[in-house]
Amino acid sequence: MAAIRVASTSFTIRASTSSSSSFSSSCYNFCPSVFTKFGFGLSYAATPLSFSRGKRMAHSITRAALGLTEPKKIDPPKISFSAKEIDLVEWKGDILAVGVTEKDMEKDENLAFKNVILQKLDLHLGGLLSEASSEEDFTGKAGQSTVLRLAGVGLKRVGLIGLGAASARTAYRSLGESVAAAAKTSQASSVGITLASSDGIAAELKPSTASAIATGAILGMFDDNRFKSESKKPALESIDIIGLGTGPEIEKKLKYAKDVCSGIILGKELVNAPANVLTPGVLAEEATRIASEHNDVFTAKILDVEQCKELKMGSYLAVAAASSHPPHFIHLCYKPPGGTIRKKLALVGKGLTFDCGGYNIKTGPGCMIELMKFDMGGSAAVLGAAKALGQIKPDGVEVHFIVAACENMISGSGMRPGDILTASNGKTIEVNNTDAEGRLTLADALIYACNQGAEKIVDLATLTGACIVALGPSIAGVFTTNDDLAEEVFRASENGGEKLWRLPLEETYWESMKSGVADMVNTGGREGGAITAALFLKQFVDEKVQWMHIDMAGPVWNGKKKSATGFGVSTLVEWVLNNSS
Ligand code: BES
Ligand code: MN
Ligand code: ZN
C-alpha cells in the first residue's frame, strides 16, 4: 500500500499540559486557544506515515459545540497506594476499613470476637466494634457496611465492610468501592484498608487481592462531573493496603490496577460525552493525544474522507455521508520498546459518535435514540486499552487500534435504504436498513485491520439490540470460529469480571442475508439478529486471521447509574498482556 499522507487538515493535536503519568484522563479540555502543532513528539519518521512538516498551519477545530456545552476540565484524582505490614492499632488516618466475612463476625459467649484481628482492634477501641455490630445487626454479609466516628485515637473513623460468605474477587473489588463511598461521604483524605482474615489468603493470591481492592477504590472514587455545573473535588489522597504483604510483586499489581483503571476511566468519559461534544473529529483528537502521551511506543494515523476514498472504503463512507461532522478513520499502532515482535494483534472498535438510525430512524419507545451517544462504546474500549497499554508497555506484541469513527444521521446527502455500497475489498452490500450501520463501518475497518498483517483481531461493537434481548444488559455476546482465541479472551475477562457469553456463528442463517442484486444485504430480519450481524462481519475478515467479534450493546451502559461502564478495557488489556512475552 502506498504511503498514506495525513492531510494537514485532518490532523490536529491539542496542546496538552497534562502529565502522562497521571492515572486519570482529563478529556476534552476545551480551552479556547486551541493549539495546532505538527510532529508533537510522535515518532513519525519510523512509520509509513509521511508528514507535511513544511506546512505549519495554525488552525483550530471549531469549538462551538451545539448547545455551547464545554466539558469542565477536572484534574485527575491522584490517589497514592502503599502496601504496608503494620500493626492495625498503630495506623493513623481518616478511615480504617476492615473487610470482614460472615465467619470473621462470629462472637463467643461473652460477645467478644473470635477473630484475633477484630479482637485486638475492638480492645483498642474499647469494645466499640463488638457493641456496634451487635446493635446494628452487622453480620458481614456482602453489601453491609458500618462506619463509626471515633475520638481521641488518632483515627477518625473505623469501618466494617461485609464481604459475604466466601471471599471472591468481586467481593474485594466491592470492598474497594464501599471504602470509596465512605471516603466520599466523610471527605476523607487518608484511608487504610485491611482484611480481618488476610492470614487465610494464600501468599501468591495476596497481590491480586490488593489490586482488586485498589481497582474498586479507584473506580469507586471516580464520578464523571465534567458536565455538572457544580461538583465537589474528592479529597482522597492516599490508601494504605495493610496486611497483604509488601514488595515488588504487590507494587507491580497495584501499578497494573492503576493503569487499567486509567483506561477504564477514559473509556467511561468517552462514552458519557454527548454527541454534540464528542464528534468523530474530537474522538480522533483523543486518540492522537493518547499516542502523543506515549510517543515512545505509539504512532498515530488519522485518515480523512479523501484518504478513505483512496482506500475505497465505500461502506464506511456511506454511513458517514449524512453528517455535517466528517468521518475520521483512526489508526494507532503500538510497537514494544524492546523492538522484537512475536505477535501482531488488532483491536477494532465501532465508533458511531451518534446513531439516529438514518432514514430507518429510531422511533418508538425502547429504541433508546437518546442514548445513542454510547454507540462508540467499542471504540472507547479500544482507546481505553490503548491508554493503559501505553503505560504498561508490554514486550513482544504489536497492536493496532482501529476505529472508523463517524455519525449516522439524516440529510439529502445521506445513504438511502436500497443503496448498494462497495466495501474496500470489492464486496457489494445492498442496504436494506440504514440503522444497521455499525457493521457497514466495521466492514472497512476489519479489511483495513487484516491489511496491517494482524494475526488475531478482536472487534468490539454496540452492534445489535438483539444481543441485549438474548443476554440482557450486563453480558456481552462473543462470536468466533476459533476455540483457542475464545479460550484466551475468556481467560482474560476473568480478572476484571467482565461477563461474556459465546454465541454461535450459525452459517445456515446466512440465507437471510442474501440479496437479489448485490453480494449481500446488511440485515437479515429480527430472528437471530446478533448472529446475522456477526456473520456479516465475517465476510470482511481474511480466513487465515483469528477473529472474534464482541457485541457489547448491553454492557456498555449502566442503566441504574445512568452512566458508562468502561466495558471491554480490562479484558482487552489483559488479553494483549497474555499475548506478550
Ligand atoms: N447501535 C445499534 C444497536 C443498539 C441498539 C445498541 C440498542 C444498544 C441498544 C445498531 O446500530 C442498530 O441500530 N442495530 C439494529 C440492527 C437492525 C436494524 C437489524 C438493531 O439492533 O435494532
Ligand atoms: Mn443503528
Ligand atoms: Zn449503531
Residues 296 and 180 both lie in one domain: no
Nearest protein CA to atom 9 of ligand 1, as residue: 465
**What is the CA(514)–ligand 1 centre distance, in A?**
20
pLDDT at 156: 96
**What is the CA(137)–ligand 2 centre distance, in A?**
50
pLDDT digits (tens, 9 = 90+) for 138-169: 999 999 999 999 998 889 999 999 999 866 77
Q: Which atom of ligand 1 is nearest to the CA of 357?
A: 13
Residues 373 and 514 both lie in one domain: yes
CATH of the domain at 469: 3.40.630.10
**What is the CA(13)–ligand 1 centre distance, in A?**
32
- More confidently predicted of 487 and 12: 487
Residues 384 and 510 both lie in one domain: yes
Domain assignment present for residue 53? The answer is: no
Domain assignment present for residue 61? The answer is: no
Residues 109 and 144 both lie in one domain: yes
| Dihedral over Cα of 86, 89, 91, 95: its sign | positive
Mean pLDDT of the chain: 90
pLDDT digits (tens, 9 = 90+) for 290-300: 999 999 999 99
**What is the CA(400)–ligand 1 centre distance, in A?**
26
The tally of CA atoms less than 13 A away on the side-chain side of residue 88 is 25
Backbone torsions φ then ψ of 158, nearest 5 degrees: -125, 140
Q: Which of 453, 443, 466, 462 is nearest to 518 (CA)?
A: 443
Q: Residue 295 in contact with residue 253, Cβ under 8 Å?
A: no
**Residue 77 pLDDT grade (very low, low, confident, very high; cuts 50, 70, 90):** confident
**What is the CA(367)–ligand 3 centre distance, in A?**
11
Residues 426 and 458 both lie in one domain: yes
**Residue of 206, 289, 373, 439 marked active site:** 439
Domain assignment present for residue 210? The answer is: yes
Q: Which of 172, 156, 161 is nearest to 118 (CA)?
A: 161
Ligand 1 pocket test: which of 379, 464, 556 has the largest number of ligand atoms within 8 Å of its C-beta?
Answer: 464
Ligand 1 pocket test: which of 359, 407, 433, 435 has the largest number of ligand atoms within 8 Å of its C-beta?
Answer: 435
Domain limit, last residue, from 227, 262, 297: 262
pLDDT at 26: 38
Backbone torsions φ then ψ of 489, nearest 5 degrees: -75, -35
b/e 4-28 (16+ beta carbons within 10 angstroms → b): bebebebbbbbebebeeeebbbbbb
**What is the CA(322)–ligand 2 centre distance, in A?**
14
173 classed as catalytic: no
Residue range of the domain that includes 504: 13-31+274-580
pLDDT at 90: 94
Which ligand has the minimum distance to the alpha carbon of residue 368? Answer: 1
Which ligand has the minimum distance to the alpha carbon of residue 530? Answer: 1
pLDDT at 505: 98
Q: Which atom of ligand 1 is nearest to the CA of 465?
A: 21
Domain assignment present for residue 221? The answer is: yes
Q: Which atom of ligand 1 is nearest to the CA of 462?
A: 6
Q: What is the pTM of this model?
A: 0.90
Residues 507 and 529 both lie in one domain: yes
Nearest protein CA to atom 3 of ligand 1, as residue: 464
pLDDT at residue 76 greater than cutoff 90: no
- More confidently predicted of 36 and 323: 323
Nearest protein CA to atom 13 of ligand 1, as residue: 435
- Separation of alpha carbons 250 and 245, rounded Å: 7
- Separation of alpha carbons 336 and 577, rounded Å: 12
pLDDT at residue 189 greater than cutoff 80: yes
Residues 305 and 377 both lie in one domain: yes
Residues 168 and 253 both lie in one domain: yes
Inter-axis angle of helices 377-392 and 248-272, nearest 10: 150
Q: Which atom of ligand 1 is nearest to the CA of 408?
A: 11
Q: Which residues line ligand 1 (CB under 6 A)?
A: 355, 368, 375, 433, 435-438, 462-466, 468, 523, 529, 553
Nearest protein CA to atom 16 of ligand 1, as residue: 436
362 classed as catalytic: yes
| Dihedral over Cα of 101, 102, 103, 109: its sign | positive
Residues 461 and 501 both lie in one domain: yes
Domain assignment present for residue 44? The answer is: no
Domain assignment present for residue 71? The answer is: no
Residues 122 and 230 both lie in one domain: yes
Q: Residue 523 in contact with residue 463, Cβ under 8 Å?
A: no
pLDDT digits (tens, 9 = 90+) for 512-542: 999 999 999 999 999 999 999 999 999 999 9
Residues 228 and 307 both lie in one domain: no
- Separation of alpha carbons 127 and 123, rounded Å: 6
Residues 568 and 434 both lie in one domain: yes
Q: Which atom of ligand 1 is nearest to the CA of 372?
A: 1
- More confidently predicted of 385 and 49: 385
- Separation of alpha carbons 96 and 93, rounded Å: 7
Inter-axis angle of helices 206-221 and 248-272, nearest 10: 30
**What is the CA(428)–ligand 2 centre distance, in A?**
19
Average pLDDT over residues 482-488: 98
Domain assignment present for residue 47? The answer is: no
- What residues sit around ligand 2, an ion, with C-beta below 5 angstroms? 355, 435, 437
Domain limit, last residue, from 233, 262, 291: 262
Domain limit, last residue, from 199, 232, 262: 262
Backbone torsions φ then ψ of 563, nearest 5 degrees: -155, 160
Q: Residue 343 in contact with residue 316, Cβ under 8 Å?
A: no
Q: Which atom of ligand 1 is nearest to the CA of 437?
A: 11
**Residue 47 pLDDT grade (very low, low, confident, very high; cuts 50, 70, 90):** very low
**Residue of 253, 289, 301, 362 marked active site:** 362
CATH of the domain at 160: 3.40.220.10
Domain assignment present for residue 113? The answer is: yes
**What is the CA(214)–ligand 1 centre distance, in A?**
35
Count how many domains the chain has: 2
